[in-house]
Amino acid sequence: MRILVLLGGNSPEREVSLASGEAVAKGLDEKGHQVLKMDPANPEKVYTMTESVFKGSIAPLPQGEDAALTPEQVVRILDNIKKYSIDLVFPALHGGWGEDGRLQALLEMTNIPFAGSGACASALAMNKHLSKRIAASLGIPVPDYFFLPRTEIQRAINLCSDFGCPLVVKPNAKGSSVGVTIVKEIRALAPALEAVQNLNDDLIIERYIAGREITVGILDGGALAALEIVPKDGFYDYHHKYTAGQTEYICPAPISPDLTEKARQYAAAVFNLMECKVFGRVDFRMNKKGEMFFLEVNTIPGMTSSASLLPKTAAAVGMNFPELVNRIVVSSMNLKR
């Protein structure tokens, strides 16, 4: 099968996407597929497997800002898909239009097969406010929170005075913990709000859940293993995600069978109700009482070779990385959308 891996893009998670895309391409190549690579931000060039798009390491902080695709870039992307007789597009794009449903909508409208969730599910998953509402409708606990549109961010200081600390300030529609801050006292709120304003996004402020970070990989709508994330210090922010040695990953998570099953049931339930497809990851916080609180669904989780969590949860059930990406391709083709 001839597969085009899309990597890079125009979001602060660009470097992570480049690393993910290279790993996906290598895994698919090992399974015998004909693999090409393209950065939608620079679609003039299509890369073969002998050429590397990612030439460095992931920086300790996210780089750049979201930028929209131009009409000229859209035309070039579609032209290249046709020119190279692509059977399937594999988006390995994190954040921005690559993950929020806009790219998926373009591919759906042009009847181009692609890997993973469709436009509607991608948009829902990227929107933390809406995904929390969906999880809550299933009876899955979510942290107490409130949502503010970007035009009303300045109201947050008064609202948070009543809400109390500690709390978590985050943009409503970003990934890789970009712009996320744990605020332990009200006087530290202003710089946290500024970080979200600089991203030009709406705001989520939620109660900080003291406890443990648990994530569950999803494949074909079913839950894989539960994994515990243990940062060496602070919390699991962008730096801890992509800096070697800053986080320990324990898979399967060292929690009771009952709690493991609860996390897996919650993860599969919310993933499927949102009509997400094929693969993803669902994140939780677990408090000291063993209560599991839903945080978010990732429809294009990181696929880097060293730090990414979905491949670790697949490995825990006996599936290596090339097998995982090949399974994603086969299942995506079987969707026949």
- Range of lowest pLDDT (123-127, 246-250, 329-333): 246-250
Q: What is the mean pLDDT of the chain?
A: 91
Neighbour order of strands in the sheet with 34-38: 46-47, 34-38, 2-6, 88-91
DSSP 143-177: --EEEE-GGGGGGHHHHHHHH-SSEEEEETT--TT
Task: Assess if residue 96 is contained within a domain.
Answer: yes
Q: What CA–CA distance (Å, rounded) separates 258 from 290?
A: 10
Question: Residue 255, SS3?
Answer: coil
Q: Would the pLDDT of 239 be above 60?
A: no
pLDDT digits (tens, 9 = 90+) for 150-207: 888 888 888 888 888 899 999 898 765 677 899 998 888 888 888 888 777 899 999 9
Residues 236, 310, single domain; the answer is: yes
Q: Which of 166, 190, 207 is the last residue of a domain?
A: 207
Residues 66, 185, single domain; the answer is: no
Q: Output the pTM of the full model.
A: 0.93
Task: Assess if residue 51 is contained within a domain.
Answer: yes
Question: Confidence class of residue 246 from pLDDT cuts 50, 70 and 90?
Answer: confident
Task: Assess if residue 121 is contained within a domain.
Answer: no
DSSP 42-88: STT-EE-TTS-S--S---SS--S---PPPHHHHHHHHHHHHHTT-SE
Residues 97, 24, single domain; the answer is: yes
* For residue 254, cis peptide bond before it (omega within 30 degrees of 0): no
The residue behind tokens 């990851």 is 281
Instruction: Give the CA angle between residues 254, 260, 265 to the nearest 5°.
Output: 160
Task: Assess if residue 120 is contained within a domain.
Answer: no
Residues 107, 155, single domain; the answer is: no
Q: Would the pLDDT of 240 be above 80?
A: no
Residues 65, 131, single domain; the answer is: no
pLDDT at site 77 = 96
Residues 108, 38, single domain; the answer is: yes
Question: Confidence class of residue 248 from pLDDT cuts 50, 70 and 90?
Answer: very high
Residues 58, 150, single domain; the answer is: no
DSSP state of 335: T
Question: Residue 260, SS3?
Answer: helix
Residues 174, 265, single domain; the answer is: no
The whole domain housing 173 covers 145-207
Residues 196, 214, single domain; the answer is: no
Q: Which amino acid is at 220?
A: D
Residues 255, 272, single domain; the answer is: yes
Question: Residue 296, SS3?
Answer: strand
Question: Residue 166, SS3?
Answer: coil
Task: Look up residue 254 and give its two tokens.
Answer: 């060292």
CATH number at residue 154: 3.30.1490.20
Residues 19, 73, single domain; the answer is: yes
Q: Which of 187, 207, 227 is the last residue of a domain?
A: 207
Task: Look up residue 159 and give its two tokens.
Answer: 């609202």
Active site residues: 13, 176, 242, 281, 283, 296, 298, 302
Nearest in space to 92 (alpha carbons), one of 302, 312, 307:
302
pLDDT digits (tens, 9 = 90+) for 283-317: 999 999 999 999 999 999 999 866 789 999 999 99
How many domains are contained in the chain? 3
Residues 133, 88, single domain; the answer is: no
Q: Which of 164, 184, 207 is the last residue of a domain?
A: 207
pLDDT digits (tens, 9 = 90+) for 6-64: 999 988 888 889 999 999 999 999 999 999 999 999 999 999 999 998 877 776 556 66
What values do phi and psi take at 289, rounded to 5?
A: -85, -5
